[in-house]
A and B are shown apart, each in its own frame.
Chain A
Amino acid sequence: MAWKTDTLTGWGRVLSGSAQIARPEKPSAIARVVADTPAPAVGAQRSYGDPAINTDGKAIDMNRLDRFISFDAKTGVLEAEAGVSITQMLQTFAPQGWMPTVMPGTGFATLGGCIANDAHGKNHHGVGTFGQYVISIELIGADGKTKTVTPKKNKTLFEATVGGLGQTGIIISAKIQLTECSSRLIQVDERRATNLSEFMDMLKSSTATYCVGWIDGTANGQSLGRGILEEAELTKSNMAPKLRKSRKVPFNAPSFALSPPTVRAFNRMYFNRVPATGRGVLRSLEDFFFPLDKIHDWNKLYGKRGFHQFQCVLPDDTAERTLREMLRLIADSGLASPLAVLKRTGPGRAGPLSFTMEGFTLALDFPNSAKSIKLVETLNEMTTEAGGRIYFAKDSLATAKQAHAMYPELAAWQKTVKTADPKGHFKTDLVRRLKLRDSK
């Protein structure tokens, strides 16, 4: 197998590292590579920090293993290779009446990546995480042998793999349960929330299948935590949606593009765009589930300095108090970008390293700077103290101590991983940075 020296970069473009990368196109080829040179798998490189970076090491690019293996149109069970993207699944099977049960905020994410991060979507409060719909996984271990992992046959290994950041082996394909999809059009109701407690009440009492909130990270005082609540239900229309054309960010944007006054003005406009009485709009599934995918390379909008995404989940008992403090700190700093999300999460999770818990999740982007690093570090500490968690798929700044405190089942996970990969071949920069495979 040919190895190519290339740079692996997180989506936030702050962390990157050079690695030698192999890109097999057949399952037999990948088995041969792993038997010879076990190395972590990388997919679409949509994690923000360093879970798919292996500086000065090796990596196996899974993007060319992207075929559907079987699909049962009666039951909605799909088996596919790990490099298949969520968009590919949606676009292929929605016309046949099926779609992935859980879809993360970008359709570029791969099947393997969604399992390894136990991704969640806009319906988490109702259905849980991606991993809960995985029926079986074909996993190549550090010994180069492929085995079928299911929640029944080898429960511990299955759970350690789902959300396991690739540490138990390479996921080459998986069988998942799709969900029925009545239409390719979705009805979205948008309503204003004028402050944080109103917003949280609206999110908590929402009965919509899909529910997500945009939050204004620049609003302060009376309007602290204001935003727009989006509740959505699939329609019954069988018409094909009109898809917007995709565009590309051609070069790094200058730093003033996301300076505090621009963001404040933009956010005010974005909030006021929805009338005080609310409104309903009809969107294509792609536009609703993957709002930014139409703008290719949107991460370049932050310029060459890159950005950090902070995403935490907070349990109900501490959520409101902590969110209020966090938002005040964020608004005072003036560092937030317009991309900010507040969402209700349910109890669903599939593995010991899964991110979600019942409560609220907040996600915000900050252009990279010494000040924003300091702010995110503070937010990480507040999350730890509030009994919450940071999402590994987004993180670039948490500490090992915080990670160990946030994920109490880590020790049990480590035991399984130690058996699966005793020599640590599948370690990545994130695993080393957060000492996820060390006892403390």
Chain B
Amino acid sequence: MSETWIVLGASSSMGRAFARKVAAEGAHVVLAAREKDDLARTAADCTSRGAPSATPVVFDARDPKSFAPIYKAAKKNEGIINAAVFVGSMAPQADVDADPNIGDFTIQDNFTGPANFLHGLAPIMESRKGGTVLGIGSVAGDRGRIGNYTYGSAKAGFHTYLSGLRNRLNRSGGHVVTVKPGFVDTAMTWGIEGMFLVASPDQIADDLWKAHLKKKNTLYTPWFWRYIMAIIKSIPEPIFKKLSV
């Protein structure tokens, strides 16, 4: 029987790449994104590639009312329900410094919004006895750095939530992967200077699929970010506080 994948943030480069990956694996897809205009086309792409069904739904991390239609669309399909969460926003730290209220949005988009969505989904997954959550965090959540610590702390909060959810879903046969991507070649990073070792969204999608199959707990993608972050995490705080890495 076909499984179902909810892809939250399906119009992002990574969300799109992952949606077509699971479509080619024969899964039903529920595609959720803030703007509906282009989602229908991504849905058509998924059915061409092998998804038995593809349902576009509008989702706004800041609007809890938008969650229920997604649960409903997923529940229509029988069998296991999985979710991949690609939502998030990265306001430049300088903007947050200028207007601290922007920090709230960053935390809603990256942490409380997706966490609350998953919290509503968890009982449904439990009732279906299985399923994987791929939660996209960030290497930025591993340590607070001067360049983006509001974003980083939101991601860190999300990491902790995912770790708890893993503990919970494990009891009903489910699983959670905390994903920490490094730099990815997306519309968001296009043309930004200082990018290095940039991975393609397709590469990330392949890694995510493998991590789902292997039931990894934490995935750094591409893999070498585990070591880059190990170094950054190991710098003693008295030194780290003077650095701008």
Contacts and interface: CB of A to CB of B under 8 A. Distances in A.
B13 to A, nearest CB: 7
Interface in A350-407: none
Contacts of A28: 37-38
B119 interface: no
Given A28-B37, A28-B38, A92-B49, A23 B44 contact: no
A92 B13 CA distance: 20
B48 A92 contact: yes
B215 interface: no
A25 interface: yes
Contacts of B16: 25, 67
A270 interface: no
- What is the interface residue range for chain B against chain A? 10 to 19
B209 to A, nearest CB: 16
A67 B191 contact: no
Contact of B191 (A3, A27, A92): A3
Contact of B13 (A3, A64, A67, A68): A64
A68 B187 contact: no
A2 interface: yes
Nearest to B191: A4
Interface in B23-41: 24, 37-38, 41
A67 B190 contact: no
Interface string A210-246: 0000000000000000000000000000000000000
B44 A67 contact: yes
Contacts of B44: 67-70
A398 B45 CA distance: 41
A68 B45 CA distance: 5
A247 interface: no
Interface in A64-81: 64, 67-71
A67 B37 contact: no
A69 B41 contact: yes
B4 interface: no
A26 interface: yes
B42 interface: yes
Interface in B150-193: 187, 190-192
Interface string A1-24: 011110000000000000000010
Interface in B8-26: 11, 13, 16, 24
A308 B45 CA distance: 37
Contacts of A26: 11, 37-38
Interface of B: 11, 13, 16, 24, 37-38, 41-42, 44-45, 48-50, 187, 190-192
Interface of A: 2-5, 23, 25-28, 64, 67-71, 92
12 contacts: A2-B191, A2-B192, A3-B191, A4-B191, A5-B191, A23-B187, A25-B16, A27-B38, A28-B38, A68-B44, A70-B48, A92-B24
